[in-house]
Structure formats: structure tokens, C-alpha cells
Amino acid sequence: MDTLTSIRVFRQVVESGSFVAAADRLDMSTAMVSKHVMHVEQRLGTRLLNRNTRALSLTEPGKVYFERTKSILEDLQQTELELGSLSTTPRGTLRVSYPSFGAIQRVADLLAEYQRLYPEVIVDVSFEDRNVDLIEEGYDVAMRITADAASLPAGLIARPVRSIHFVLGASHEYIRRHGMPNSLDDLSRHHFIGVGNLDSLPLKGPHGMLEVPIHVAMRYRSAVGVGHAAAAGIGIAPLPVVFFEDTAFRKQLVPVLTQFSLREATLYAVYVSRKYVPLKIRSFIDFMLERVPAHPEPALPINDDPSPRAAVALNAAEVGDGR
């Protein structure tokens, strides 16, 4: 059994707080994680971890060994990064965290283009609407959306990629059943799909920002889940503009009150500041900064007549042009 690998596994067990969590992060079985830790303990001739069914803790020798090996492994990682940066070909596994709204065809096409350019990089993408810890969870890059750059974690590099626009939208079926709202006052009689704990909508109109109370019929904590719920006819929802062109949604969704929009947000590429950035990370960041802004957001299918009959006509037009 490789001793260096066993030391890395031991470190991950300590940092994760359990054998199960370490196994999940290392993509190996819990039994194999346990064997690696036992290998280290047998090699040293001392117990490093106190184990029971509910928790584990470091023994005194374990604390010393963890601190010493942590420093050694960090030096080794830095050396590997410095040598790797001299390579001319990006390679290896690139772990990316992406907001769930990115689980659409446009982003899939983008990632496919990156993979064609850099076939030796395996892109491992997690679509999740949470702030991951890049260092603790082993991510290389996190794509994050925020309207406030100050909310991004300190100590990391955050590169703005593009603006993301959100508007209200609903399904054609919902509009047929409940009617198209003509004004903000009409929104009080409509059902909404809430994003997290949101109970009002910050809408930007001709005269500035307004906070509009809403009746929430269902809550979602996933952006792509909100899109599917809107397409299912549950209610009106704040949606990214790109949803209206996506193959999964474009025949189902229609924008609502397009003279109002939600607060604009920015998509950032976030990564750990290093003196030597591995080529797999650098190539991905450069690719996103170049390609994403080059593909503008789609134009909304503006509906000038807010009547329910117009919504039906718009639906027929979309079907007729093959979209």
C-alpha cells in the first residue's frame, strides 16, 4: 500500500471528521479509507485516532503527526503546482461548482467546447446553489452569482464573467388559467414560486426599484428547480433570461411584465489565489472569460398585448416557427 496515499487519506479523515465523509470526498470505499489509516498506524506502531460509533478524535501522537504531515503535504502540493505550471498541456480532473441555473443546454455546449479544446482535462461539474468551500471541499473553480461582490469570500480571486438578467415568467398554461397580469397591482392575485425564503420581489421599473409583496404557493431552493416548477404551471417565478431560449423551457415559458426586471447580478469565476495556478484552472478561467461574454443573452419574446388571448397566440407562434 502506498504510504504517501495513506498519509493523504489520514489527513482527509481528520479534516472531514469521519471515515464516511473522507471516503465520499476521495471517491473510495469506507473500507479502503480505514485500511489506509491502519496502514499508517501499523507503520508508525502507534494509534493516531480514537474511534467510536459517533465520533473520532486525534490521539496525542496523532495530533503531532497530523500537523507535521499537513505541512509536508502542503509543501509537496506547492512543488507539484510549480512544476505543473511549466507544462504546456492542461490535464487532470477539474472540479467545478456551478449554480443550478447552469444545468441548461447553453452551458453544456460551452463545456463541450472546452473539452474539445483540452481533451486531457476531465471536467467534474456539480450544479448546486450554495457557497462551497473551495479548499475544504476540493473544488478548483466555483462559478458564483451575486449582486454584491463584497459577499464573495475574502482571500479568493473572483473574476467577473458576465451580467445575468432575471425577469418574471410563467407557463403558457398558467397564463391561460389565470390571465396575464397587466400591472404590478395584478400580481397580488397570482401564485408565485418562491426562491428560498423570499416573500417579496425587488423589481426594477421605469421609476426605480420597488419591493412587491407576493403570494408564495411553493418554494424551491434550486434555480433550475424554479424553472421546472414554472414550466409545470405552478405560478409566476423570477427566471434567468437564458431559460427562455433553452430547449427544456422555451416552448413552455412566457415572460411576464417585461417592463420590469429583477436586480441584475454578476456571474463570477472564483478560485484560490496561488503563486502558480495550474494550467487546468488557468485554461478554464481564460476560456470562460473569453467565450461566455461572446455569447449574448437571448432577446426575450416580448408580448406587447398582455391579454390571455395574446399568450395563446404567442404560444402558437412559437410552435409554428419550430422552436
Domain membership of residue 274 (yes or no) is yes
* Longest distance between any two alpha carbons in the chain, whole Å: 80
Q: Are strands 121-127 and 156-164 parallel, antiparallel or unpaired?
A: unpaired
Residue range of the domain that includes 223 = 166-263+299-320
**Would you state the pLDDT for residue 87?**
61
In a domain, 87, yes or no: no
- Please give the pLDDT value at position 315: 37
- Domains: count for the chain: 3
**How confident is the model at residue 295, as a pLDDT?**
74
122 and 141: one domain? yes
Q: Which residues contact 152 (CB under 8 A, 6 or more apart)?
A: 144, 146, 158, 268, 270
pLDDT (0 to 100) of residue 250: 83
Q: Kindly state whether residues 306 and 212 are assigned to the same domain.
A: yes
User: Quick one: pLDDT at residue 126?
Assistant: 93
Cell numbers placing 95: 472540479
Please tell me the predicted confidence (pLDDT) of residue 229.
Answer: 94
CATH classification of the domain holding 221: 3.40.190.290
**What's the distance, Cα to Cα, between the start and end of the chain in Å?**
57
Same domain, 113 and 10: no
Q: What is the CATH number of the domain that holds 22?
A: 1.10.10.10
Give the three cell numbers for residue 151.
Answer: 459577499
Quote the pTM value. Answer: 0.66
- Does residue 311 sit within a domain? yes
Domain of residue 105, CATH code: 3.40.190.10
Q: For residues 73 and 186, state if they share a domain.
A: no
16 found inside a domain:
yes
Q: Which residues contact 35 (CB under 8 A, 6 or more apart)?
A: 1
pLDDT along the chain (323 residues), means of 10: 85 87 88 90 89 81 86 75 66 92 90 94 92 87 88 86 91 94 90 85 82 90 91 93 87 89 87 81 93 76 44 36 37
Reading the block at residue 243, the C-alpha cell is: 431559460
- Looking at the structure, tell me whether residues 30 and 173 fall in a common domain: no
- pLDDT for residue 85: 55
180 & 303 share domain: yes
Residues 253 and 274 in one domain: no
> What are phi and psi for residue 67, nearest 5 degrees?
-65, -40
129 lies in the same domain as 271:
yes
What is the reported pLDDT for 118?
Answer: 94
Residue 86, domain member (yes or no): no
Question: Are 127 and 21 part of one and the same domain?
Answer: no
Q: Are residues 53 and 149 in the same domain?
A: no
CA dihedral 262, 267, 272, 276 (to 10 degrees): -160
What is the rounded CA–CA span in Å between residue 176 and residue 310? 10
pLDDT of amino acid 119: 94
Q: What are the DSSP E strand ranges found in 70-226?
A: 92-98, 121-127, 141-146, 156-164, 166-171, 191-195, 200-205, 208-213, 215-220
